[in-house]
Amino acid sequence: MAKLFEPITIGNLTLDNRIVIAPMCQYSAENGRMTDWHAMHLGNLAQSGAGILTIEASAVSPEGRISYADVGLWDDETEEAMGTVLESVRRWSDMPIAIQLAHAGRKASTAKPWDGGKQIAPGAENGWQTVSASTLPFLPDENPPEALDEAGLARIRDAFADAARRAARLGIDAVQIHGAHGYLLHQFLSPLSNKRTDRYGGSLENRMRFPLEVYDAVRAAFPADRPVTMRVSGTDWAEGGWDIEQTVAFAKALEARGCAAYHVSSGGLDAGQQIPVGPNYQVPLARKVKEAVSMPVIAVGLITEPEQAEAIVSTGEADMIGLARTVLYDPRWPWHAAAALGAQVKAAPQFLRCQPRVYKELFKQA
């Protein structure tokens, strides 16, 4: 059997296979509330045959959204809207569902990508004041963020915990904390964005302090029998920034706290990043982490071919693979991968008649 389609257990959650649908922002929410678009989008991916589906970055507070059209989970209204979508999805799929809880920090208050994606100034329509570890903006011409004080840090920690409790009430199976791509927790981790002189800045231990406090708060708020994981950028791809050695140290600190899995991406923190983009370009980062910890490690980044994904997990470079744009382009990618690798995949009974004659054992009924 293909390793990609072997079950794997994360915490107490066992997945049918090692394909993770990674969180993908849709910029289609209204005041943080999910819409019919999300029911259609997530419902489609819940029929893909993947091991687990991750809800897009969900802001823990209004100012934590990347754009004004981002999903949130910060009050009863956003919780109710997400619950309505999940009820619809679950009616037709038993795929486990995770959520990525996030705060964009200084990269917040933007237009939608298809409207240019530029930051919207405070006071302008759909804009607000951003916050970060320090007062450095992401781009020189952007409005500087406010540096969070102790009260601000406590407020955001509490917001992450509250969102985790709401996720638990919604029956979500796992939480992923967003510590990657230049968003708030990454802004604390990287010396390029964190210029603080208090106990949250300077040394690696200090820069990890706030992200670890957020992890602890989420872990305490989310049911103990459900996994909490972390997504990180393995490197800033910029001189003097966050790198793989620090990523490994962060992984070890999280594992000691009970982190159930570590999703290794890269970049997003520094506008001058130099990324050597190509197939598997982030997999070596995942491999470095996997060599240092025992918790499952997820690799991501231009993984597009079944044989490519199988090689990553079968050679031990990572335990799982994450798909984002690949599965947007081909929402049945896990079906096609199972066919190519001689494996089986779940399919809803409504789809069983489409099983190709040459793959007589492809589908097992969901």
> CA–CA separation, 154 vs 184, rounded Å?
14
> CA–CA separation, 142 vs 244, rounded Å?
29
How many CA atoms, within 13 angstroms, populate the side-chain half-sphere of residue 308? Answer: 18
> CA–CA separation, 43 vs 23, rounded Å?
14
Burial class (CB in 10 A: 0-12, 13-18, 19+), 240: exposed
| CA dihedral (15, 21, 24, 28) positive or negative | negative
215 is catalytic: no
- Quick one: which of 28, 29, 89, 99 has its CA closest to 57? 99
Residue 289 one-letter amino acid: V
> Could you give the angle at which helices 333-341 and 306-314 cross, rounded to 10 degrees?
70
Place of tokens 């004041």: 129
Catalytic site residue from 27, 68, 183, 262: 183
**Helix/strand/coil for 30:** strand
Q: Where in the sequence numbering do the catalytic residues fall?
A: 183
